[in-house]
A and B are shown apart, each in its own frame.
Chain A
Amino acid sequence: MTRAIIASIVIVGAGLVRVDSASAQTQRLPGTIEFSGGASWLGKASFGSADATETTPTGSTTKLFETSSSLRPAAGLEARLGVRLAGRAEVEGFMSFARPTLATTISNDIEAGTTVTARERVTEYVFGGAVLWYDNESPPLRVFVTAGAGYLRQLHESNTLAVTGQIYYGGVGVKYFFLSQRGRQVVKGLGLRVDGRLIAQRRGISLDDRVHYAPEVAGSLFVRF
């Protein structure tokens, strides 16, 4: 159902393509404020391995079993509110929501012959800000680079334990304008935004103190005022 609605919006939007030629000359985006909302896909973040060990009589260790953990890929939702600055720069605030699965694969147990993956569902919120820098290309297609940072809050399954951390990202994206206009109209622009980012996560559910990286892609519809 949701997918059908998004497809309809895109088709309707495509029918509205009208680009103000003046914007091509000035390189300025129409409108000052942009709101966007859409979906994201966050890739796998590996948390490495940890062995359960016991001490031998010589003081060395021997494995009881091995584990490797990761935060599995997950779809999410995100919303952004941007404000155009002078020139080609824009700042935006954002929030996102996702429910990835924390999975720990347990293998090579000295007694159990099977490999088991233990899981829990994590609820994740990110609140942050970012800057965008647009290139010189003309509408309807505007390419941008972006960098941002955010406060990460993750709730373990059953909501009995919350952990916090930070995320940092850099990425590139493109905005395709179905509608771009100046003048007295309230809506100055309408279009589709696609982002590709590399996320660096610090703390949160990480099982160690290292920074973990994961790719993310996002697609959203935007409207500019």
Chain B
Amino acid sequence: MAGRQVVVKWAQLPARYFVSAQSTVPGVGVSDFEAAVQRAFTRWQDLPTSAITYQYVGRTSAQPGQQDGSSTLGFANRPELDRVLASTSFFVDRTTGALLESDIFFNSAFQWSVAPDGQSGRFDLESIALHEIGHFSGLAHSALGETELREGGGRRVLSAEAVMFPIAFMAGSIAARTPKADDIAGISDLYPDGDFPQKGSVSGRVTKNGQGVFGAHVVAFDPATRELIAGFTLNTAGEFSIAGLSPGPKVIRVEPLDDADIDGFFDAAQPVDLDFRVLLFDRLVVVPRRGDSGRIDVTVGRK
């Protein structure tokens, strides 16, 4: 913000939220809505390495998106947003990064379901709520997913290993109701608890032709736990840091951000470099307990 980086998170817990009393669409009553979003909140809250807590206050006549000092979740009919299932908006203290209010709207122009096993042709409210509550809590998008372009525009998700991947699974899927390792590392990094302080990190630099690569997606894979946790190079020097890693050796994979729209991750003005080949680093990078690997230098080549 204003050239400074701040961590956006709730300064006071529990994070309190309301549900809009008008939150009803065909097949989903207000009570169904409340139950579905509460299940999603509980998924985040029950993570043993995160201290985030939430409190449901009750129903409100307010709509999500109104700056009223209260965080509100509810449906809103936005047919013009034909590729937006839901969205989270924030009000943030620009000095500290403290979240003051966070509203989530679910687009009632789509078909929704709260069926335990999902419902063909309808998007699973609990899965989408889980993703939006990640944003509500301060998380950004993850790029741990693979997509293909659709003929009519947009992308179809082939697979994802983070509920914070920016594109939802197809309607009817309930495969994204549980946070993955990358999500857990992210929320635990913001609100550490339990044995999270025992975790370590990998940091380093990605370069191409001697210059730093901005926006490279760096993935750490743990052969012992089989967890994938990722981050980005976040400056023009190509520097990155991936936190929340279990101690031990990691496989490092670096790829361009080519499975989702860049504006889901970075501002349009930022010089994200997509012109390099996927690289598998030829060193196992050791993550110490409560420490950092020490800077690794990864050199990628042009496509």
Contact = CB atoms under 8 A, between A and B. Distances in A.
Interface of A: 47, 50-59, 61-62, 64-65, 67, 69, 102, 104, 106, 109-112, 114, 116-120, 156-158, 160-161, 163, 205, 207-208
B226 A118 contact: no
Given A160-B291, A161-B288, A56 B159 contact: yes
Given A50-B223, A51-B226, A205-B249, 15 more contacts: A50-B226, A52-B251, A52-B253, A54-B144, A57-B169, A57-B175, A65-B221, A69-B223, A112-B277, A118-B251, A118-B280, A118-B281, A119-B284, A160-B286, A160-B294
The 7 closest A-B pairs by CB, nearest first: A54-B159, A160-B288, A57-B169, A116-B280, A120-B284, A57-B173, A156-B286
Interface residues of B, number: 43
Contacts of B97: none
5 contacts: A56-B159, A57-B157, A112-B279, A117-B282, A120-B283
Contacts of B248: 156, 161, 163, 207
B290 to A, nearest CB: 10
B224 interface: yes
A211 B145 CA distance: 34
A5 to B, nearest CB: 35
A55 B174 CA distance: 11
A173 B287 CA distance: 40
A59 B174 contact: yes
B109 interface: no
Interface string B208-222: 000000000000010
A55 B226 contact: no
A54 B226 contact: no
A156 B169 contact: no
A57 B170 contact: yes
B278 A112 contact: yes
A136 B257 CA distance: 71
Nearest to A114: B280
A63 to B, nearest CB: 9
A118 B175 contact: no
Interface in B273-301: 277-289, 291, 293-294
A117 B169 CA distance: 33
A208 B224 contact: yes
A102 B288 contact: no
Given A52-B221, A161-B248, A109 B280 contact: yes
B298 to A, nearest CB: 12
Given A54-B160, A56-B159, A67-B223, A161 B284 contact: no
B255 interface: yes
Contacts of B180: 55
Contacts of B253: 52, 64-65, 106, 109, 112
Contacts of A157: 284, 286
B158 interface: yes
A102 B284 contact: yes
Nearest to B226: A50
Given A55-B180, A120-B283, A64 B228 contact: yes
Nearest to B169: A57
Central interface residue in A51, A112, A205, by most chain B CB within 10 Å: A112
Given A56-B158, A56-B159, A109 B278 contact: yes
Given A118-B280, A120-B249, A54 B286 contact: no
A47 B170 CA distance: 37
Central interface residue in A55, A59, A64, A112, by most chain B CB within 10 Å: A55
A130 B198 CA distance: 36
A207 B169 CA distance: 32
Contacts of B160: 54-55
A111 B175 contact: no
Nearest to B175: A59
Contacts of B174: 59
Nearest to A157: B286
Given A51-B226, A53-B226, A156-B249, A58 B289 contact: no
B247 to A, nearest CB: 6
B224 A207 contact: yes
Contacts of B32: none
A161 B289 contact: yes
